Amino acid sequence: MSNIILETVGLHKIYNGKSAERVEVLRGVDFKIERGGIYYILGHSGSGKSTLLHLLGGLDRPTQGDILFEGKRISEWNAKELDAFRAKKVGFVFQFYYMLPELTLLENVTLPSMIAAKSGGRRKALELLERVGLSHRLHHRPSQMSGGEQQRAAIARALVNAPEVVLCDEPTGNLDETNAENIYNVIESLSRDEQQTFAIVTHEESFVKGKPNVYRLAGGHIKKEYFSET
């Protein structure tokens, strides 16, 4: 049985801009993600990192090429099938936390399990919030929490339904260096202990240097990044 959980084959994405201008963001991306790994995708602003992540998560459709989840072409699925895929198989962590201000931390993290009508969500949320060091903040609202705390909460929320893949879009983009390092440590710990698969897009080269599975997206193509020792 293949250990590949997500794969793109010849992936293209073209946007039609103003005055019929065509912007080709992805130009034939071939990329494989193995189960249980952490994959870092580097690239500057506008390189197509977020576009690739959205395609992997079924939030957008490719112009050309295939996206396969466990060997099945999600690029051919209808809206209902994609909704089920996102609800059960994929967790999302965005640069902005998207916490509902009227809900407590615990309620925010439990919410995805309630939407999916999945039992045991509150218990799982409590476990995850303890893992990310927020068990003392359960009844606080987002306005009472720091950016680093809200981002750790967003990671817990993404994991509450036990997705097979977690997609992170610049998860440390709004954090200082100390909080950013803490977020990466949390992700690595959860991947190791919970056997989660992570794909993380970032421009923070300093945090991924020397790690395995680092790729660079540039000019619409992706390639493995090899850092020099100097």
Residue 78, pLDDT above cutoff 70: yes
When pLDDT is averaged across residues 164-183 and rounded to a whole number, the result is 86
Closest CA to 199 of 3, 67, 38: 38
> Does residue 48 fall inside a structural domain?
yes
The fraction of the chain above a pLDDT of 90, given in percent, is 60
| Run of H or E residues at 90 | strand 90-93
When pLDDT is averaged across residues 152-159 and rounded to a whole number, the result is 91
- The CATH number of residue 219's host domain is 3.40.50.300
What are the structure tokens assigned to 105, written together?
A: 């931390």
Mean pLDDT of the chain: 89
Would you state the pLDDT for residue 117? Answer: 82
User: Do 104 and 179 meet the contact criterion of CB atoms below 8 Å apart?
Assistant: no
When pLDDT is averaged across residues 147-156 and rounded to a whole number, the result is 90
The mean-pLDDT minimum among 28-32, 146-150, 202-206 falls in 202-206
Residue 129, pLDDT above cutoff 50: yes
Domain that holds residue 210: 37-62+79-224
> What percent of the residues of the chain are helix, what percent strand, and what percent coil, each to the nearest 5?
40, 25, 35
The mean-pLDDT minimum among 53-57, 145-149, 180-184, 225-229 falls in 225-229
Residue 18, pLDDT above cutoff 80: no
Residue 230, pLDDT above cutoff 50: no
When pLDDT is averaged across residues 98-127 and rounded to a whole number, the result is 92
Q: Euclidean distance between the first and final Cα of the chain, in Å?
A: 39
What are the structure tokens assigned to 193, written together?
A: 């202990």
> Does residue 9 fall inside a structural domain?
no
Would you state the pLDDT for residue 88? Answer: 87
The mean-pLDDT minimum among 15-19, 75-79, 82-86, 97-101 falls in 15-19
Closest CA to 62 of 4, 18, 10: 10
> Does residue 229 fall inside a structural domain?
no
Would you state the pLDDT for residue 132? Answer: 87
Would you state the pLDDT for residue 1? Answer: 52
Residue 126, pLDDT above cutoff 50: yes
When pLDDT is averaged across residues 20-26 and rounded to a whole number, the result is 84
> Does residue 216 fall inside a structural domain?
yes
| Run of H or E residues at 32 | strand 22-34
Residue 217, pLDDT above cutoff 80: yes
Cα 123 to Cα 35, 98, 135, 194, distances in angstroms: 25, 22, 12, 15
Would you state the pLDDT for residue 229? Answer: 55
Q: pTM for this structure?
A: 0.89
Look at the chain and report how many structural domains it folds into: 1
> Does residue 15 fall inside a structural domain?
no
User: Do 159 and 196 meet the contact criterion of CB atoms below 8 Å apart?
Assistant: yes
User: What order of strands is seen across the sheet that includes strand 214-218?
Assistant: 90-93, 165-169, 197-202, 38-42, 214-218, 221-224
Rounded to whole angstroms, the Cα distance separating 167 from 158 reads 9
